[in-house]
Amino acid sequence: GENVEQHPSTLSVQEGDSAVIKCTYSDSASNYFPWYKQELGKRPQLIIDIRSNVGEKKDQRIAVTLNKTAKHFSLHITETQPEDSAVYFCAASIDYGGSQGNLIFGKGTKLSVKP
């Protein structure tokens, strides 16, 4: 089955700097890659996702890149702010025509943004 590795497990940056989190996956059939943000004691929330027919996607300060050949994808956060501090999870799934696809998650990256 699919296996998702995520690095680093912790990341500390200064406010205003960029943060990059990287994930690799094992199943070349995976074609959907979402990222979730989880604040302490709260639910994971989808912040951005990318599908295998796209190499990069941006949404304001957040961007995700996908390299299908190398089977890795990354989350980039620019101009970080203290409210970006949270645990970020990457995930991968396979769409078999829309009826399947439980997400397999990485172990998470705890991002701390220091003011």
Query: What is the contact surface with another protein in residues (CB under 8 A)?
Result: 1, 6, 31-32, 34, 36, 42-46, 49, 51, 89, 93, 95, 98-108
Comparing CB distances to another protein, the nearer of 25 and 89 is 89
Closest approach, Cβ 85 to another protein, in A, equals: 16
Q: What's 97's DSSP letter?
A: S
Tokens in use for 90? 């990457």
How many Å apart are CA 6 and CA 92, to the nearest integer?
A: 11
Considering the complex, what minimum distance in angstroms separates the CB of residue 46 from another protein? 5
DSSP annotation of 93 = B
Alpha-helical segments (H) within the chain = none
Q: How far is the CB of 84 from another protein (least distance, A)?
A: 19
User: What is the residue whose two structure tokens read 């991002």?
Assistant: 111
1 vs 115, which CB is nearer to another protein? 1
